[in-house]
Amino acid sequence: MRMSVLRRDRGQVTIEFLGMTPLIILTLVLMWQFVLVGYTYTLAGNAADEAVRAGTAATRGERQAACEQAGLSKLSAAWRDGAEVKCGGTGFVTADVTLDVPVLFPGSIAFPFTVHAHAGAVEEATN
């Protein structure tokens, strides 16, 4: 009698696991997308810091070019494609960086929203 009960439940765990597999995969994909969003925020903040650092050391006529070059230099090609770096200010230099968030893979299509970062620093005195 006991053996027949065990045979009726055979394969139940496999069926339940197969039913949960799409939910498990969807959860992993969503977690990975959140990791990409967080990493994009980190990259944007670092690019803004690099840009404003270069902008404070450059002369006012060369500030935008130096700022943009420094802001984009540390970004990989996947994030550099849609990146936008703007610098401005006198006395207090600011840098604004906008990056596109990729969908699932860096270098793929962009997510429907962008990440913005802002940094500022006091202009260095020129001798």
Bridging pattern class, strands 84-88 and 92-102: antiparallel
Q: What is the pLDDT of residue 122?
A: 83
- In 1-105, the DSSP E strands lie at 84-88, 92-102
Q: Please state the pTM of the whole predicted model.
A: 0.76
Tens-digit pLDDT profile for residues 52-84? 888 888 777 788 888 888 888 888 887 778 788
Tens-digit pLDDT profile for residues 97-111? 888 888 877 766 776
Residues recorded for the chain: 127
Residue type, 105: F
